[in-house]
Structures are given as structure tokens and as C-alpha cells.
Amino acid sequence: MIEQVSAAPAHAIDTEFHRERSYYPKVALVQLAVPDLIALVDPLAVDISPLAKLLDSDVIEVVHAAQQDLEVLSRGCGTVPRVLFDTQLAAGFVGYSSPALTNLVSAELGIRLPKGDRLTDWLARPLSDEQRSYAASDVAHLLALRDRLVGKLEAAGRLDWALDECEELRTRPIGPPDPERAWLRIKDHRHLRGGSRGVAQEVAAWRERRAASLDQPVRFVLADLAILGIAQRPPTDVAGLRRVRGIDERALRKPVVDELLAAIERGTELDPTEITQADTEEIPRDLRPAVTLVSAWVSQLARDLHIDTMLLATRNDLVDLLVGSPTARLAHGWRAELVGDQIRRLVDGEAALAFDGSGGLVLEPRVGHERSDRDGSGDEDDRLIG
């Protein structure tokens, strides 16, 4: 099968997996398609690592919403595709907003995919005819869909944008998070202050490592609520732990409780300089109104350009630009031209936002800060920012 698929310049790939009761995804099925073949590979029956030959080649891997599939393939095959085309990402540049495969295939190809049970057990054997049909449909039309989207992207002059975005996704870090950053994923962690942050960091890092070693979801080890409670009033013994909301008996057994108490102690002794900070910096108070204002303009610009707003600029993108982050996406490439440069003009006082009289927003030069456009010299800027 690998030899046959390798002969094609592109192939479609998808995976089915479960991770509800494990730390790592449990791959249950791999689907591949080329024009004359659809294959369902059973990873419970065969080793899927030879698929690395396909992935680490110049063959184009066509995937829909690839982020989790990349993690599954990386873990099962030791590599990710060398060339990736994500149809969901590409569709975002021609007017769609993170479309489901079913909706995208229907809209672009006029084909209705079979309905499947979202909660089906892909690890059960044998797979039913309905499961097999549903799994095959996930890859059956991806190549035709890619051709359709490439044509639209070329016509709009946005193919390079989409390919750049696919490459960014392909090269994004994959796999378990850094344990020292795990506390930043806890809801309401921003409400913690002072030494409580150090405790939250150490306890969350311990939880992450223990979950990985047991291959269990982190919530099976310790609930987020318990970490927040421990961080706010760090207990020093088992009796103190019992008073914390969210603690269950699993965390109070030997030697788990000793490890947990040791993590709490490390956290209370952690120097403030050792506490991991979020990638996106806190926005200065005087710039906070700018985030809200610019977000409204970006949303309208995305609608006008028929680009998914999240592809054009996220809130974190706006914050990164405003605080001068050297890695700000809006400071480079096509995003700088469409969004970043205009936001800089707004913040620097060279441009202003106003209502256009039809319920929309227009970003226009401020009098005295820009040349008059009466001679036509500013037409291109008006096209970009209006």
C-alpha cells in the first residue's frame, strides 16, 4: 500500500484516535487515499511506523484540520509530513471560517458525506460497515477539494499565504507541553498572585509528569480546582490537603501524597524570577482600549477580504504587535501589509478609525499627519485600510 500511495504526487490522510482516558492519543485508524485507492490501516493489527516513508517525502499530504493528526502521526511514525496542505486552513483564505469537512465538501464539491456518530468507538473491533464508510469518506474527496481550493487561492492571489500558514502549522511544536508551563493552561490562573503562582507552577508540573508516566489524563491525577486551592493556601501535611476542594483519595495515598507535598514545598521556595510567564505579555493599561478598538476593525477587514478572522489576526497577535514582541506575526509578511502596518499608524496617531456612514469602520489618515490624497498618491493605502 505504501509503495502504491508513494507513486502519486499527493495523497489524502486522516486518523481516528481516542484520548479521553489517556495522556497520549491512542491511534485507532489511519485512512489514506489516492485517485485509485482508499486504504484503512488498522494500527491495532499492524505497525504504522513504516508510514514514515510516506510522510518524510516530497509527496503532498492533504489533511483537513491537521493539528491533532500531526501529533498522532508524530507519535506513531516518529515524523510529520514534509509537505502539508490543510484544507481547513486553506478554506479560511477564501471566505470560510474553520469549516467542518462535511460542510466544505458539500459547498465546494456538491457532495454529501455520510453522517457518522461523533462518539463512535474507533478502538472496537471489528469496525462496522458504517464506521468503515464514514472513515473512508474523510479522505475520499480531499484531493479534489485541494484542487478546487488551490484554483480559488490562485485566482485571489492568496495561494502563498495559505501555503505559508500550512508550513507554520507543520513546524509548530508537537507533543506534550513543557511541565513548567502547565500552570498557564489552568483556568483562572491569572487571579493568582505572588507566591501562589510558584506553588501552582510546581504542583501543575508535578501533575503533568505523573500523568505522562501513567498515561492518564491530568484530571485523573489532580483537578484544576485542587491546584488553585493548594496555591492560594499551601498545605503542609495530609490534614491540610484534605481540606482542599477538589482533592480526592487518589492524591492522598502513599507515595503520591509525599510527592505532592514535596511539590508544594518547592513551590513555596520558588524565586519569582523562576516563575514561567505567558508567551503573550500583559498589555499595558494605556493600550488596552486600542486592543478593543482594533479588534473591531480587524473583524470588519476580515469580512471585507473574505478571510477567517482568526487567520488574519488573533487577540494575542494584536497584543504581541502593540507591546513590540519581536516574534509578532503582524510585523512580518502579508499580515504586516494588511494589518500590522495600519495598526502602527493608528497607535502612532497617524490614522484614525471612524464610522463610514453605513455601519462599518474606515481607517483613514489624520489631517496634518498624512499627505492629502487629492492628487491620488494615497489610493493604494486607502485600498488596504478602507
pLDDT in tens, 170-199: 999 998 889 999 999 999 998 999 999 999
Residue 370 has pLDDT above 80, yes or no: no
Residue 379 has pLDDT above 60, yes or no: no
- pLDDT class of 289 with cuts at 50, 70, 90: confident
Average pLDDT over residues 366-374: 56
Burial profile 274-302: b = 16 or more Cβ within 10 angstroms, e = fewer: ebbeeebeebeeeeeebeeebeebbebbb
Q: How far apart are CA 257 and CA 274, in angstroms?
A: 24
In the chain, DSSP finds a helix count (H) and a strand count (E) of 19, 7
- pLDDT class of 369 with cuts at 50, 70, 90: low
Where are the chain's structural domains?
2-170, 179-274, 285-385
Average pLDDT over residues 345-361: 88
- CATH class, range 285-385: mainly alpha
pLDDT in tens, 257-275: 999 999 999 999 999 999 9
Query: Longest C-alpha distance within the chain, in Å?
Result: 80
Residue 286 has pLDDT above 80, yes or no: yes
2-170 and 285-385 agree in CATH topology: no
pLDDT confidence of residue 384: 42
Comparison of pLDDT for 280 and 156, the residue scoring more: 156
Residue 385 has pLDDT above 60, yes or no: no
pLDDT confidence of residue 285: 82
Q: Does residue 144 contact residue 109 with C-beta atoms inside 8 Å?
A: yes
Output the CA–CA distances (angstroms, integers) from residue 161 to 89, 130, 165, 313, 333, in the order listed.
10, 37, 6, 13, 9
- pLDDT class of 360 with cuts at 50, 70, 90: confident
Fold of 179-274: DNA polymerase; domain 1 (1.10.150)
CATH of domain 2-170: 3.30.420.10
Q: How far apart are CA 340 and CA 385, in angstroms?
A: 11
Q: Does residue 385 contact residue 366 with C-beta atoms inside 8 Å?
A: no
Mean model confidence pLDDT for the chain: 92
pLDDT confidence of residue 290: 86
Output the CA–CA distances (angstroms, integers) from residue 311 to 63, 91, 303, 363, in the order listed.
18, 10, 12, 20
Output the CA–CA distances (angstroms, integers) from residue 308 to 101, 134, 164, 211, in the order listed.
16, 28, 15, 36
**Picking from 85-89, 146-150, 290-294, 309-313, which range would have the lowest pLDDT averaged per residue?**
290-294
Residue 386 has pLDDT above 80, yes or no: no
Average pLDDT over residues 338-347: 93
pLDDT confidence of residue 312: 96
Determine the length of the chain: 386
- pLDDT class of 363 with cuts at 50, 70, 90: confident
Residue 283 has pLDDT above 80, yes or no: no
Residue 159 has pLDDT above 60, yes or no: yes
- pLDDT class of 376 with cuts at 50, 70, 90: very low
Give percent of the chain above pLDDT 70.
94
pLDDT confidence of residue 362: 86
